[in-house]
Amino acid sequence: MRPDISASGVVTRIDGPLLFLQRTVNVGLNTAVEVEGPDGAIRLGRIAAVETDRLIVEVLQSTTGLSLSGTRVRFSAEPLTLAVGPGLLGRIFDGLGRPIDGGPPVPAVQRLPIDGAAINPAHRELPRDFIETGVTTIDLMNSLVRGQKLPIFSGGGLPHDRLAAEIALRARLRTGMAGKFSVVFAGIGVSADSAEYFRSTMESSGALGHTVMFLNRANDASAERLLTPRYALTAAEYLAFQEGHHVLVVLTDLTNYCEALREVSASHGEVPSRKGYPGYMYSDLASLYERAGCLRGIEGTVTQLPVLTMPADDIGHPIPDLTGYITEGQIVLDRELDRQGIYPPVRVLPSLSRLMSAGIGKGYTHPDHPALANQLFASYARAVHIRVLASVMGAEALTDVDRRHLDFASAFEQNIVAQSHGRTLEQSMEIGWQVLQRLPPAELTRLSRAQLAAHFADDGRA
Amino acid sequence: MSEATLTWAAGPVIHARMHGPFQIYEALAVGERGLLGEVVQLKGDELIAQVYEDTAGLEPGAPLRGTEAPLSVLLGPGLLGQIYDGLLRPLTGLDAPFLAAGERLRVAQRFAFEPRIKVGERLVAGQVWARAPQAGRLSLVRAPPGVDGVVASISTAGDYEDHQSLCAVVDAQGRERSLSLLERWPVRMARPVAARLPASTPMITGQRILDTLFPIARGGRAALPGGFGTGKTVLQQALAKWCDADVIVYVGCGERGNEMAEVLNELPVIEDPRTGRPLLERTVIIANTSNMPVAAREASIYTAITVAEYLRDQGLHVALMADSTSRWAEALREISGRLGELPGEAGYPAYLSSRLASFYERAARVRTLGGDEGSVTVIGAISPPGGDFSEPVTMHTRRFVRSFWALDPERARARFYPAVNPLTSYSEDAGRVTAWWQANGNSNWLEHRRRLLDLLGQQARLERMARIVGKDALPAPQQLTLLLADLVNEALLQQSSFSVADRYCSPARQSAMLRLVMRFVELAEAALARGVPIRTLVALPVLPRLKRLGEEHGETDLAGIEELGREVEAIVLALAANHAP
């Protein structure tokens, strides 16, 4: 490996986060650099473009304080890396992978490039190990499996942090063969109290020892936010694919990430796409979200639980929209349910888990699980539709069957969605069957006759 | 071979100074690692190229080598049953679970070879000159387009590697061309055919809502637009599994890695209902997942259709599933932006529409150079931002396809799959395939289809009305229409891809189900006319059984459908008789 090379007095122009240098050394695209200003502070950056006689460096931290003459640039020989080792567990890092818990640096077994590499699709194993999260709307209706990426689409002020923390604490396999389990938490542009909430929750339950935290605070440079999830995912991949852990990665809040992406793109003078976000935002988000999965022949897995706050609660906004196209479903939180005091306020109908069918049913959870979930979805969708009708015409104008659907809808929200403590899948299913009792069996066309006979005493059918 | 020296690099775009002639769109090997690239602009002594792999580490001064040919792929008898990247490099057989950039050694395949031509005989494009018996459907080896000459030499039967030269042909000008089991074809160029034939036979998809309401003909083109979570991929996969094409080319363009894993996991274990062989054997998978390089995503669509055309030229009916063409268009946009081109609508380059047109135009039913019939049917998924169909990719695609299968978020949220919206979807192929359906199981097919569409159209209108006045206030015939439309949705149009009994529906079963439901529609309308109250009809205990028709009576139980039909007939007729005026 080539030793690091320094150069000073080569900076010819500074424009926002971009540094234009004379090309005095041979360095390649995307190589990491350290920029030291006259103030002595060291900033991380990387080579964004190379020309015959010029280099463009993208500084990933604030450029305030840099000058043309007094700036030294140190070129490394490789892209940005993270030092990884078993010592990562229990530690807290800043958004650039430097310890901020007062502890010593992590003894490095290896240095891994933070951009990772694409998993060969032919080496992926189909994720199908059901994870019980204790949340009925997830376990029963939108099941999470190991190796999945399932984001929480939330809004400002909704309890997504609490939900993510609870899932991280409760998640378990039903088979009991839990294996080594760890949590990687990446706070991207989060407020100090958000980060502290997560830390203290993990600490009070004794889970901090198998947690790694990367914290990019709201007042850190925005370009740094682009790196925080990459450091976190690199740590997760190491723990999963080399140490054999089952890693749950909580990334919050991806909206801050995308805002930073837009900001940096604008400073590069790139042609913007929808709402000013760069045209490559899909590819860029994919380079994060696709770093989840199971590999053939390797024990560990990476499961992602990204959290994003939908700007103006709009699910069609580019951030949730592009995310939904990449991730394997979404859990949508709802302000109206939250106002009614229902926790967790999961809006079931637009929520989805694409890998659910692979991980539930006979041989995985319970043979009746798919049909029950399907029937609950169909009936609740119909009930919500009727509720809209009722709000126009009044409930008196409805037929009897329609009124029973209204009753079903509120029971669904009060008994299935709302919950004060974790439930096993069996408990969740039991509640599901009970709530369905409020509907006439003839309406339950997604259930087989055998299922109806087993769960409904007064089977009204001929 | 010309060389050049890199002068500028940012992202996937590079500039280089040429030391010899290069062609536009020539394929390149870039840098020490030999990254694959393609020339996109030539000016003065400078070339601009896009690189199909991660460019990290490239620096000025790096060498570039030309290949003297446009971006091309190797096609041959070993194609089926494999998974490739967007540039048709095999993804199986690599040791590392992560993909690295750079040249990959191609592992040669060995085939038993039997010559089918003698020295001195004439060989023209499309003609069979050899046999590779282990290659299954691709066992006949044909002369590639452009060949026309006399065989000067041919190897004897035996085991050979696929790239070995086995035959030499001398043309009228005295130029010699050697043939191996492989042929190279530039992906951006359509392969020639003897004639394009009109579409007349439906491609049976096994999905009732498509086959009955919005059919696609062999050689047809369909678009499948839908916001996220509306079931595009599940439907594409269902089509890949159950449609009656001979072979499937499935291209995952900028989509999820786990979905590719799903396809790879299922296809080897599901049996082809027609041949009894694993479905994987009739499939070519091209995977460029969303985190693989963006320029290769742009190429993967062309790679896929070139493979499809090659298979078509072997006399096969091919279905190409492209998931998703929006990611391809976005790759065009991204590269166009980096080249500094003037953006058109929503940042897409102005040539988006012509690229889409030329892609879809490569779908056709044809007479091949070899004289056989073959077809390429293209089904392109579209992922419109925000589910808004007025965005450029959906809008332009609409102009070039004949079947438009619009997915509906409201249906998807109620887990009503396939979530094809019957009111906004259409098929121009319906008229062309009517004769086939009339000859194959349902003489009233056209009439039934029209009646179904009519019922569904009325349902939408009546529901709007019911929202204002209340359902009970509607006159009885309109209440019946709502009941029947609901039955059509539940019994016919809903079909779960995850249900073993119902995931595939043969033409015979579709016809039986359609006849039964249409008969019920007739009987119920007659009963109402004779004075049977609507309440009685709504409460008919046989209705829930009709709604579970597909689920309860699978492919092996067509008799069950007939029996239920007789039962329904008796029940409703008896009802009507009791209410005789």
Q: Is the peptide bond before A344 cis (omega within 30 degrees of 0)?
A: yes
Beta carbons of A121 and B468 less than 8 Å apart: no
Decide if A396 touches B, using CB distance below 8 A: no
Min CA distance, B300 vs chain A (Å)? 15
Residue of chain A nearest B93, judged by CA positions = A122
User: Is residue B423 scored above 90 in pLDDT?
Assistant: yes
Residue with tokens 């046989």: B542
- Tell me which of A277-281, B338-342, B426-430 is least confident: B338-342
User: B256 CB near a chain A CB, below 8 Å?
Assistant: yes
- Find the mean pLDDT for residues B97-109: 80
Identify the pLDDT of residue B341.
84
Q: Can you say whether the dihedral through the CA atoms of B550, B551, B554, B557 is positive or negative? A: negative
**A13 close to B (CB below 8 A):** no
Euclidean distance between CA atoms A130 and A370, whole angstroms: 13
Write the CATH number of the domain with boundaries B108-184.
Answer: 2.40.50.100
Task: Judge: A279–B333 Cβ closer than 8 Å, yes or no.
Answer: yes
Q: Answer whether B270 touches A (CB < 8 Å).
A: no
Instruction: State which fold the A5-75 domain adopts.
Output: Thrombin, subunit H (2.40.10)
B563-568 contacts at long range (C-beta below 8 A, 24 or more positions apart): B564/B516, B565/B512, B565/B515, B565/B516, B565/B519, B567/B542, B568/B516, B568/B519, B568/B520, B568/B523, B568/B542
Tell me how crowded residue B361 is: count the other CB atoms within 10 A of its CB: 12
CB contact under 8 A, A283 and B414: no
CB distance B49 to B39 below 8 Å: yes
* Average pLDDT taken over every residue of chain A: 90
Identify the sign of the CA torsion B128, B131, B135, B136: positive
Tens digit of each residue's pLDDT (9 = 90 or more) over B311-329: 999 999 999 999 989 999 9
Nearest by CB to residue A124, choosing from B61, B260, B416, is B260
pLDDT at A348 over 80: yes
* CATH T-level fold of A81-358: Rossmann fold (3.40.50)
* Separation between Cα atoms, residue A379 and residue A444, nearest integer Å: 8
> Spelled out in words, what is the top-level CATH class assigned to the domain B3-71?
mainly beta
Which DSSP letter does residue A149 get?
B
CB A76 within 8 A of CB A6: no
A181 in B contact zone (CB under 8 Å): no
CA distance B413 to chain A (A): 5
What pLDDT sits at residue B512? 95
Nearest-angstrom CA–CA distance, B92 and B291: 18
| B105 has pLDDT over 80 | no
**What DSSP state is assigned to residue B210?**
I
Query: Residue B434 corresponds to which tokens in the numbers above?
Result: 């009517």
Q: Which of A148, A290, A318 sits opposite B385 (nearest CB)?
A: A318
Separation between Cα atoms, residue A34 and residue A54, nearest integer Å: 17
Q: Is B197 on the interface with A (CB under 8 A)?
A: no
Judged against a pLDDT cut of 70, whether residue B478 lies above it is answered with yes
Distance CA B463, CA B294 (A): 46
Token digits for B60?
């000025």
Q: Quick one: average pLDDT of B38-58?
A: 90
Query: For residue B256, which residues of chain A lie inside 8 Å, CB to CB?
Result: 290, 326, 328
Give domain limits for chain A. 5-75, 81-358, 369-455
* pLDDT, position A3: 54
A378 touches chain B (CB under 8 A): yes
Q: Please confirm whether the linkage preceding A253 is cis (ω < 30° from 0).
A: yes
Q: Sign (positive/negative) of CA torsion A103, A108, A112, A113?
A: positive
Query: Could you tell me the CA-to-CA distances from B314 to A444, B77, B433 in Å, in that order?
Result: 49, 10, 24
Query: Between helices A369-393 and B445-469, what is the axis angle to 10°?
Result: 50
Q: Does A101 touch chain B (CB under 8 A)?
A: no
Tell me what pLDDT residue A207 has.
86
Please report, for residues A146, B329, B354, B556, B562, the alpha-carbon distance to residue A273 in angstroms, rounded to integers and kept in the order given.
34, 13, 21, 52, 56
pLDDT tens, position by position, B382-398: 999 888 999 999 999 99
Q: What pLDDT, on a 0 to 100 scale, did the predictor assign at position A177?
A: 62
Residues 227-266 of A with CB under 8 A from B: 241
Helices (H) and strands (E) in chain B — how many of each?
Answer: 16, 26
Q: Is A20 at the interface with chain B, CB within 8 A?
A: no
Which of B256, B290, B496 is opposite residue A328, by nearest beta carbon?
B256
What mean pLDDT comes out for the span A433-437?
Answer: 95
Based on C-alpha coordinates, what's the Rg of chain A?
25
Is B415 in CB contact (< 8 Å) with chain A?
yes
Q: What's the count of helices (H) and strands (E) in chain A, helices before strands?
A: 14, 22
Q: What is the pLDDT of residues B176-220, one digit of tens each?
A: 999 999 999 999 999 999 999 998 999 999 999 999 999 999 999
* Residue of B87, B228, B408 to mutate, interface with A, max A Cβ within 10 Å: B228
Percent of chain B with pLDDT over 70: 99
B109 in Cβ contact with B162 (< 8 Å): yes
Q: How would residue A461 be classed by pLDDT, with cut points 50, 70 and 90?
A: very low
Cα–Cα distance between B405 and B543 in angstroms, integer?
Answer: 28
Residue A459 has pLDDT above 80, yes or no: no
Dihedral Cα B48, B53, B56, B60, nearest 10 deg: -30
Least confident piece of the model among B111-115, B253-257, B377-381: B253-257
pLDDT (0 to 100) of residue B581: 60
At the second CATH level, the architecture of B445-578 is Orthogonal Bundle (1.10)
User: Is A370 in Cβ contact with B347 (below 8 Å)?
Assistant: no
Interchain CB distance below 8 Å, A28 and B56: yes
- Identify the CATH assignment for B195-429 out of 3.30.1490.20, 3.20.20.150, 1.10.260.40, 3.40.50.300: 3.40.50.300
pLDDT at B580: 65
CB A321 within 8 A of CB A315: yes
pLDDT digits (tens, 9 = 90+) for A48-68: 889 888 999 988 888 888 898
